[in-house]
Structure 1
Amino acid sequence: MIRWIIFAVLFLVLTIYGFQAIKTVTKQTWVYYVFFIVAFIVVSNFLYQFAISSEGRTLTLEKSYAFGFLLTFMAFNVVLVPILLGEDLIRSAIGLYEKLTTKDANFHLPSRRKFVSQIALGLAAIPFSSLLYGMYRGKYNFRVLNYTLHFDDLPEAFDGYRLTQISDIHSGSFDNKEKIEYAIDLINEQKSDVLLFTGDMVNNKASEMIPWKESFSKLKAKDGKFSVLGNHDYGDYVDWNSPEEKSQNLEDLKQIQKDIGFDLLLNESRYLEKNGERLALIGVENWGTGGFKQAGDLNKATKLIEKNDFKILMTHDPSHWEAEVLKDPNHYHLTLSGHTHGMQFGIEIPGWIKWSPAKWRYKQWAGIYTELGQHINVNRGFGYLGYPGRVGIWPEITVIELKKESKSA
């Protein structure tokens, strides 16, 4: 109850500041009514979806949009607060000075300056329009990112070998089949040798993937399609009627992955063979820090792997890399992860800037990182969760080419 009271107070304060800026700029009363009607609809829908709805903790599409619109409206007002609050402090200081330096006993607060409110509204329009764009266009703005990684111990037969990685499908958030079909075609157009999916097929329930099974079954790779589980795949964020129902949900998801054509690796390994040489592909269950499920078992996953094998590890959460993978006696040449989504918000200009709030939570949050001669790629995610959009951090299809590098080079 306390958190809802805090939320209500915060929302009210932000809305009042937003109204003050609008009132200073225009005297059209219909604009005021529109502003308050929007505020009422946004907060009412949010409260209904998250406080009254019978869905419990289950994250539905309706909840995502309720949160998205609330976030957009509040972001608009949040930008206004420091500007208008700063002006309030200046106005108060001027009013106090005039009271102390004149014989007038009354305290007169100067009126808001219109140009300050205009500047504030102009700045507030940036996150407002960006978040709306992210909800309606950005979430399906798929990008193919290409990397080439060099290894001196790569088997000769795999020089030039291409793998495509996708992660964090989150099918329960999809609302546009045409865009998803486009992305699947884009994946197939890469013509990689193998396709690797690093977890979070659904938001909560296996049933979310059923409408998309046929579409994802079209994914192709000549050496196979492999997958691991992410934290959302276990159904841990749902209020199940019984442990048996939760267990059955996981079994249903495993079957769906099989139906699509994925070879799901549950702390297991496979060999990819070519011209008498091989790569070791290892997949662990989810392992993450910060309260996330830790079912991954590197020892179990590598029990059939030889020490000198060239190893590619699939593990959903990148926090696993520093916590365990880099400390493991095995040398994992390439680790593939996802999970962070790049927070679905940030600024990336290649060669200039790469920033997202995700960096405050994860040291490795997007792209390629290298330590101790080992690489990790953190995929920015195929889908989206929570906020139903993306701003600056676009949905990603990763293509990595493995190249043989001479030791004398």
Structure 2
Amino acid sequence: MEIFNKQESNVKSYCNSFPVVFTSAKGCWLTTDSGERYIDFLAGAGSLNYGHNNPVLKKALVDYISNDGITHGLDMFTQAKAAFLTALRNHIFAPRNLDYKVQFTGPTGTNAVEAAMKLARKVTGRTNIVTFTNGFHGCTMGALTATGNQHHRGGAGTPLFGTSRIPYEGYADIDGLALFETMLNDNSSGLDKPAAVLLETLQGEGGLNVASNEWLQKLSKICKAHGILLIVDDIQAGCGRTGTFFSFEPSGINPDIVTLSKSIGGYGLPMALVLLKPELDKWLPGEHNGTFRGNNHAFVTATKAIEQYWQNDDFEGHIADRSQQVSKTIDRSLKQLSSLFVRAKGRGMMQGIECKSGDIASAISRRCFEKGMIIETAGPDDEVVKFFCPLTISESELEQGLHIFEKAAQEVANELTRKAS
């Protein structure tokens, strides 16, 4: 540990909770330098939906590298990029009746959000962007203005402006959309007409808050009525995490702009996209660019992931089965350990359980780690234990992880009972 403690910045975070040195990984398992195995319920914060070193994706990548395929190409045309765009069009867009142009940004999700916000302002000529309580969109300056978390906002070192925030569905029992619509129709509300509304349909870092289909449909209707662009940030909730490829599919809405990153690369390789309706493609050449917007290795594994998992409904069925498995454990825990837990959160394989305090959630996470599982917390006070394993996990492996969680939670409950007595 000495090299990390002496040389790495204090900004590191996950390693503080999981202080071991990992050397290899396969599927949903991580192995340390001492040979200990941990089941992974973090999955690269959603970057490893298809698991660690997925053999199908790995073979495609190794073959490509062995044949001296293009590694770095800026935004030049390559066969790898053509194959990815073709797979995306044929297997993702066409079956869902979606018509999007694809913008390759710098390789991080926050860069895709930056580009989406810039494009919305460019197209509409307006500057304000409406965002939501508990939203998380990244830590670069533009995306950070849209992020609600004060811990991250505090790192900016300068005032943040350019956005207006309204309550997300279920926030303090306030009807945020009624408020939004009223303010839009009132010339004295003080709300500058926005260029766009930016949201997660299922808030990840904000605590696994889910927007209902009805709420999303109403928001879409408001945006259309007022000429406001609708941007869905599907960076964490996309690529099958909620059960469908895009998180917004069950609602039937058709966002003007969608941002993707994390698992779109398939193998955990950096990649980020902005999907935009063709009429919004008002960019000038090079107006938003980035040296690493052409990660051809990610194109290769992204293509193979789409071809392997999204040509039919089988993978969605697998996700649905595993989601039900998680839901049953959460429901059982709510009944058996009501002293610890408040309610279930999330949807699909983006579920969690809200604890009565952040301390309880953190204690459960620590106990899980001691028992061989990596699991994190989310929410304003880190009060939600977040089940976020690879989507490819088997029924038996998922059962192992859920059993560890239940044992850890029971031990925390017993410890609290002893302290109380």
TM-score, length-normalised on structure 2? 0.31
Which of 1 and 2 has greater Rg?
A: 1
Higher RCO, 1 vs 2 (CA within 8 Å, ≥6 residues apart): 2
